[in-house]
Amino acid sequence: MATTAPQVDTASAATAALRRIVGSQEAVLFLAICLLLVVVGGINPRYVAERNLESMLLGNAYIAVAAIGMSMLIISGNIDISVGSLIGVLATISGTLATAGYPIVVAWLVPLALSMLYMALVGAIVAYLRIPSIVVTLGMLSILKGGLISATGGTWISNLPAGYHLAQMQLLGLPMPVCFMVVLTAAAALWMRYSAAGRAVYAVGGNAEAARLAGISRERTLMMVFIVHGLFVGIASVLFATQLSIIQSTVPPNLELSIITASLVGGVSILGGTGTVIGSTLAAILIAAIGSSLIFVNISPYWLRAVQGILILLTVLADLMRRRRRAVRG
């Protein structure tokens, strides 16, 4: 059989790779963000002013961080709708520790530990008891929400010590939340792409039976992904807590929905097995940009949630169609 010359192969491989990148969800999102900036910026130049862009990114960076863990979870075939309430609880705990006089580092790290423990519990119920994650987290959602309100009694935490506000600090001239967002996204993307554990998540989410035949344990992989998700939620909660000089007793309404939307719109398929964390971060930015843009073009921001819903629907439909087309072809 005639062999083709190696040089031609690398060239065609390169174009194939390029085509894959351009046609990907991540590229679409990036283009969408640019488009939005250009169009809305054209209508109202204050939209693209540095102050607005900064506040847009700052205020939503924690959503992107939480969406990293959520994406991993969805890739593995599960979901967590308690994350919003969890962030609220963790933020309150963090603030309480800080005002109670504990070292600030403790106030930053305890939420991470607690979050990982909590997720280990949820993960165990899902992995070993085989209860669907939607149901477990639906129940946890209300436990956490109610627990938060009754514990705090609705009061806010103020009198936070100086040096606590991580989110208001800067690193190398960039706001801390943005640094976290970028670094964590990159780290997570690398981990998911290049580590055996990260690939195992894709395998279990894509075809758990075949994964088992390849020697990958579904239970251990699920436990791991839940705990990692917990880590990211913990970090997000600290960013959320340290954003303002007070910690409210509630989180923004439907926070979990915003996080899940970011993951789904970011290209993570709800059927498991596909998607990247870079996509979810870009999507989080896009959604924040859309939300912000509504104000600048005089559309009531109350339409934001409707937009989120439509975005989810469109993304899911596109994903379904993509899968169906692939199935017919293959």
Partner 1 sequence: MSAPALRPAPPAPWERMQAVLELQDISKSFPGVQALKGVGFDIGAGEVHALLGENGAGKSTLIKIMSGVHRPDAGSIRIDGREVSFASPLEAQRAGIATIYQELLLFPELTVAENIFLGHAPRTRFGAIDWGAMRRQAEQLLASLDIHDLDVGKIVGTLSVGNRQRVEIAKALSQNARILIMDEPTAALSEHDAGRLFDIVRLLRQRDVGIVYISHRLEEVFRLADRVTVFRDGEHVATKTVADTDCDDLIQMMVGRRIEQLFPKLTVPIGEPVLELKDITRRPATNGVSFTLRAGEILGLAGLVGAGRSELAQVIFGVTPADRGEIRIAGRPVAIRSPSAAKRHGIGYVPEDRGIQGLVRAMRLRENVSLAVLGKIARGPFIDRGAEARLAEDAIRRFGIRASGIAQIVNKLSGGNQQKVVLGKWLASEPRILILDEPTRGIDVSAKAEIHRLMSELAGRGLAILMISSELTEVMGMSDRILVMREGRIVAEFARGAATQERIAAAMMSGGEIAVQVGAAG
Partner 2 sequence: MTGEARAVGQPLARLRGLAFRHEGVLLTILVAALGVLALQSDVFLTADNLLNQGRLMAEVGLVALPMTFVIVTGGIDLSVGSVLGLCAIVLGYSWKNLGLPLEGAIVVALATGTAAGFVNGWFITRVRVPPLIMTLATLALYRGLAEGISQAHSVRGYPDWFFVLGQGDVLGVPTQLWILLLALILCAVALARTTFGRALYAIGHNEVAARFSGIPVDRYKLAIYTFSGFMAGLAGCIFVSRVSTTRSDMGTGLELDAIAAVVLGGTSIFGGVGTIAGTAIGLVLIQLLKNGLALTGVKGDATIVVIGTVLILSILVTNFVQRRQEGDR
Binding site for partner 1 (CB under 8 A): 1, 3-4, 9, 12-13, 16-17, 20, 194-196, 199, 202-203, 206-207, 209-211, 213-216, 273-274, 326, 330
CA 33, 35, 39 angle in degrees (round to 5)? 120
Question: Does 305 contact partner 2 by CB under 8 A?
Answer: yes
What would the two tokens of residue 298 be?
């005089």
Q: What is the DSSP string of 21-39?
A: HHTSHHHHHHHHHHHHHHH
Chain position carrying tokens 């514990």: 151
* 307, interface contact from partner 2, partner 1, none, CB < 5-8 Å by kind: partner 2
Question: Does 302 contact partner 2 by CB under 8 A?
Answer: yes
Shortest distance (Å) from residue 86 CB to partner 2? 12
Given the complex with partner 2, which of 31 and 320 has the nearer CB atom? 320
Strands (E), 15-101: none
Given the complex with partner 2, which of 187 and 313 has the nearer CB atom? 313
Name the helix (H) or strand (E) containing 170.
strand 170-171
Phi-psi region of 147 (alpha: psi -120 to 50; beta: other; left: phi over 0): alpha
Shortest distance (Å) from residue 224 CB to partner 1? 15
Instruction: Using the rule CB under 8 A, give the single segment among 62-70, 100-108, 141-149, 186-194 that binds partner 2.
Output: 141-149
* 218, interface contact from partner 2, partner 1, none, CB < 5-8 Å by kind: none
194, with CB counted inside 10 A (0-12, 13-18, 19+), is exposed
Shortest distance (Å) from residue 97 CB to partner 2? 22
Rounded distance between C-alpha atoms, residue 262 and residue 85, angstroms: 17
User: Residue numbers of the site for partner 2 (CB under 8 A)?
Assistant: 79, 81, 125, 129-132, 134-136, 138-147, 149-150, 153, 253-254, 257, 260-261, 270-271, 300, 302-310, 312-313, 316-317, 320
